[in-house]
Structure 1
Amino acid sequence: MKLTRLFARPGERILAMAILCVSLVIATITSVRHAPIDWSGYALQAALVLVAGLVGAAYRFSGRDERLASAALSTALLLQFTSVLATYNYLLLPNSGFSLDPWLARSDALIGYRWSDWVEWSAGWPHLARLLGWIYASTLAQIAMLILALAGLRLWTVLDRMQVTLVFAAIATVVFWGAFPSISISAFQPISAEAARIVAPMVGPDVGSMLLHLLRYGPDRISPNEMTGVIGFPSFHTVLALLCTRFAWPVRALRYPFLAINLAMVPAILLHGSHYVLDLFGGVLFFVAANAAARRTVAALGATSDTTRVETALAPSL
């Protein structure tokens, strides 16, 4: 079948299936609730996905360069998966589930941690705060570099496991948050105007207030141009930091740079992501579980790291 040849690897097939399933759920919800989705706002994302997908399909069906085919298709599928899952997450708003915020706040108090104190202290070290901001914002660039490196080195099994781990962790995170919502600590702890100006936390009090409003009343409209991360526990930024570190390990050129960046991601997440400490531990647990499940799933679907077998299977018949 054409689709079997197009999505030739386990990671691609699971991504495609996840996109289809989440899209069907979105279509069902929107038809019943008439959700305020700004479909025109998705045009740019759709164009990027279409271009990357067409490039990947052309290279795969022609058999000219499987590395380019895998990199392009992986990029297209991950972009689309991220878009549909974020849309579904917003359809869960408003969310009146059992809020974890009071419990998370108590856990911080038990260890004597306050996000507002961390921000005020960081205001005395503006260069450090700025550096942590860059690190916090580096996740998408890391994932893009990782896709190119794994595809370029033909580490197909590692690429499959990375894709499936991300899918499993992302879906589990959104489902858990739907039942037990929590948002940024910045919604509940004020900081001084001077500290806010110097540190400029990416999830600051203004964003925190907006998240609290979304949690209670929902969005006026759902548009990718206006979306922001709403999930507190578990920290998905932590999941992505661990994902990048784990799957960059077979690539020597990326191994230690990614390790250093993602060790620094811990204070960056606490400062700029405005997370509770337990949010990070939750991210670790979700990543470990997703990674274990992905390893078994990819193995069961017959993934192989043998380049010759993979490229022979993908080559078009002459």
Structure 2
Amino acid sequence: MRSDIQTFCKVAIIIGILAIDAIWITLTDFRFEGQGVLRVIAVSAFCGLVAYIYRAWRPMRAFELVCTETAILLSFTAAAAPLSYLVTSLDLPLIDADLIRFDAALGFDWSAYVGQVNERPLLGMICSVIYLTTLLQVALAVITLGLAGKTERTQQFVSAVMLGALVCILVSGILPSAGALATTRPPEIFWGNHHPVVDLAYKQTFFDLRSGAERLISLDKMKGMIAFPSYHGTLSALLILAFFRVGYWFWPILVLNALILMATPVEGGHHLVDVLGGIAVACGSWYIAGLFYKPRTISKSQQLIEVPA
């Protein structure tokens, strides 16, 4: 797919999501705090301006690509995050009982698994630190792949991140899950010396959105509402796929994100099946996004070169 066309498609998707957000908020009792929007607009506009400079005035394809895809990713995140809040408010029946049964069938005991980490404070600290690197890795992936000249790989990665987010948001709205942490609700003493990234106070926003107690959407205070499938799992799996066969980058990315996937039930309060679902979404999103970036097949007749007599 030509770069101009794929950029137009991504922008159209972002505009569509923003329209859904605006209509939904207008027709309901949600309130939107727009202070954070100004920062997103400013940074995205700056990236867009730099991209234009490196396209029209000082042609440098790598810098143009990085700036364009960064602006798209920032704008998409600002549009999709409120949508995740809105679909959570649908308050459809939770499916956690079914997910717990799936975990049990796989031989996974969330309390025992997390308990092993709680008994090892250093391990818990490592889990928290690496879990928080995922979004930074996504940003660095765009920069690294773009500057390395991996144009189509960079575009495919951003497309897959967007598609994966939309799938996770849609599924979480239709089949909502509170997550293993919120379902089990262990006592404070359960955690020992470890304090996970996502705790019960963090999860309370999920229940407040469902009950109607929370109706403020602010980009400065957004929290991850998606439990099943785990979007954190989706991003980690996409990072691994994006760097597959990309020189020496692949192995460190593989190890780091494999560890993040293992830490996700602890730090994100997820069921194991949440993580597996996130990986499945990543694989599907990567495949579908890749269909638009496959090189065109040139027929034999097109390859023939007429030799002058």
Question: Normalised by the shorter chain, which TM-score bucket?
Answer: 0.7 to 0.9
Query: Aligned-pair RMSD on alpha carbons?
Result: 2.2
Total equivalences in the alignment: 296
The amino acid of 1:280's aligned partner reads V
- Contact 1:132-1:268 at 8 Å conserved across structures: yes
Is structure 2 residue 239 aligned with structure 1 residue 234?
no
Q: Choose the corresponding residue for 2:156, options 152, 155, 161.
A: 161
- Please, which runs of 5 or more residues in structure 1 have no aligned partner? 1-6, 304-318
Please name the residue that 1:220 is paired with. Answer: 215
Cα offsets for 1:36-78 (capped at 9, x unmatched): 1111232222222222222222222224322111111111110
Q: Is there any run of 5+ residues in structure 2 with no aligned partner, and where? A: 298-309
1:277 aligned to 2:272? yes
Note the 1:270-309 alignment, pairs <5 A: 270-299=265-294
**Contact 1:119 / 1:191 at 8 angstroms: preserved in 2?**
no
Identity value in percent: 22
Aligned to 2:166: 171
The answer for the alignment partner of 1:307 in structure 2 is none
Structural mapping, 1:1-318, within 5 Å: 8-33=3-28, 35-196=30-191, 198-217=193-212, 219-299=214-294
Q: In 1, are the aligned partners of 2:238 and 2:283 still within 8 Å (CA)?
A: no
Secondary structure at the counterpart of residue 215 of structure 2: coil
Change (3 A) 1:275 1:50: same
Larger Rg belongs to: 2
| Other-structure match for 2:301 | none
Q: 1:197 to 1:11 in 2, by over 3 A?
A: farther
Is the Cα–Cα contact under 8 Å of residues 168 and 281 in structure 2 kept in the other structure? Answer: yes
Distance in 2 of aligned mates of 1:31 and 1:209:
24
In structure 2, distance between residues paired with 1:68 and 1:197: 47
Q: TM-score, normalised by structure 2?
A: 0.88
Offset at residue 192 of structure 1 (A)? 4.3
TM-score by length of 1: 0.86
Runs of 4+ in 1 over 6 A off after TM superposition: none
Counterpart amino acid of residue 249 in structure 1: F
